[in-house]
Amino acid sequence: MSPTVSICFCSALFAVFSSCASFPRDTLSADSENVPNKLETRYRRQAPVPPVVSYCGGAPFSTATHICCNGNAEPKTGSTPMCCDSNSYDPLSQICCEGTVSHKATSPGAMPACCASDGYDMSTQLCCNDNVMHKPTGPTALPGCCGDHSYDASVQLCCDSNVVPKMGSLSACCGPNSYDTNTTLCCDSNVAFVSGPQAQCCGSQGYDGATQLCCDSNVLPKPGATGACCGSQSYTQDTHLCCEGVIVLKAGPSFACCGSASYNQSSSLCCGATVVAKTPSKPVCCGSTSYNPVTEICCDGHVGTRAGLTSPTCCGGAVFDAATAKCCDGVPVFNVPSCAGLA
């Protein structure tokens, strides 16, 4: 039998007999048949107890005073020592969390538990993202975690992992802050102090739609009931026009925009963003000019005369006489019966 096996054998039996070192093994085996008697014999004999030597991590240690934890001989602590990784601890007063020994909550009502590698008391503490935090107390408290911290949801909010006080009776989060939804607005995560039935957001600002305008994220005073935005500016629709982002004077009720300018719709035409005179003989636009549809024809924005043509027709951007030519692929071709074969 190898020395190791022998020592193990000895250690196992040591629990039953006060000493096995003085016993021949054969006798021991026989003794186990009738343990009580032999025990009495043993006690009566009062043989000196030699120190028992066992091995831990290859080194001898005393099982009477030490415990072998993960190859480390550790001094026994408490009445029922246990191993925590390579350390010994007393499970009655200590707790083993992820291989680390820490103090164990033992007060009445305590609920010891692990928070990552720390011990904590679930009755008075919270484990928030592996951090031990104070647990809010009180009859109405609603304890919870907010990121790494604890908070009381009865009086606080968790906004973007920030603990913030509740605001008013209808509190909500606005970015990392809290706000009272009854009296303030949350605009782009900013708390805007504006109230009233027409309170609105303008970018990150608040404004009152009854008296103000939001023009390109600018809050401006509303210039009267017909106030409106023109780009980032405000204007009055009674007196001005907003033409392509330019505020221009509205000289009369028949004025409208033509490009970025205003014009008199009663006296002018807006042809291709160009203001041209509107006359009884030329009442219609053709491209950027006006023309007379009775005497002229508008082909692709180009004006051509009907004079001398039996059947004036557009061909591409030009006028031709369909009585004498064919329009082949946008080009007038004379003296052919059809366009066939011309392509």
Ligand X SMILES: *[C@@H]1O[C@H](CO)[C@@H](O)[C@H](O)[C@H]1NC(C)=O
Binding site for ligand X (CB under 6 A): 169-170, 182-183, 251-252, 254, 264, 266-267
**Minimum separation from the CB atom of position 182 to ligand X (A):** 4
Output the CA torsion sign for 21, 22, 23, 25: positive
**Minimum separation from the CB atom of position 172 to ligand X (A):** 13
**Minimum separation from the CB atom of position 257 to ligand X (A):** 15
**Minimum separation from the CB atom of position 87 to ligand X (A):** 57
| Cβ closest to ligand X, residue 182 vs residue 288 | 182
| Cβ closest to ligand X, residue 2 vs residue 169 | 169
| Cβ closest to ligand X, residue 100 vs residue 264 | 264
Give the strand pairing for 131-134 and 125-128. Answer: antiparallel
d(CA 221, CA 234): 8
| Cβ closest to ligand X, residue 126 vs residue 186 | 186
Tokens of 298: 């508008």
| Cβ closest to ligand X, residue 6 vs residue 281 | 281
Who contacts 214 (Cβ-Cβ below 8 Å, separation ≥6)? Answer: 200, 201, 202, 203, 207, 220, 229
**Minimum separation from the CB atom of position 168 to ligand X (A):** 6
| Cβ closest to ligand X, residue 170 vs residue 323 | 170
**Cβ atoms 239, 226 nearer than 8 A:** no
**Minimum separation from the CB atom of position 297 to ligand X (A):** 27
| Cβ closest to ligand X, residue 93 vs residue 267 | 267
| Cβ closest to ligand X, residue 252 vs residue 330 | 252
**Minimum separation from the CB atom of position 195 to ligand X (A):** 7
| Cβ closest to ligand X, residue 107 vs residue 169 | 169
What 3 state SS string does the chain have? CCHHHHHHHHHHHHCCCCCCCCCCHHHHHHHHHHHHHHHHHHHHHCCCCCCCEEEECCEEEECCCEEEECCEEEECCCCCCEEECCEEECCCCEEEECCEEEECCCCCCCCEEEECCEEEECCCEEEECCEEEECCCCCCCCEEEECCEEEECCCEEEECCEEEECCCCCEEEECCEEEECCCCEEECCEEECCCCCCEEEECCEEEECCCEEEECCEEEECCCCCEEEECCEEEECCCEEEECCEEEECCCCCEEEECCEEEECCCEEEECCEEEECCCCCCEEECCEEECCCCEEEECCEEEECCCCCCEEEECCEEEECCCEEEECCEEEECCCCCCCCC
**Minimum separation from the CB atom of position 290 to ligand X (A):** 15
**Minimum separation from the CB atom of position 223 to ligand X (A):** 22
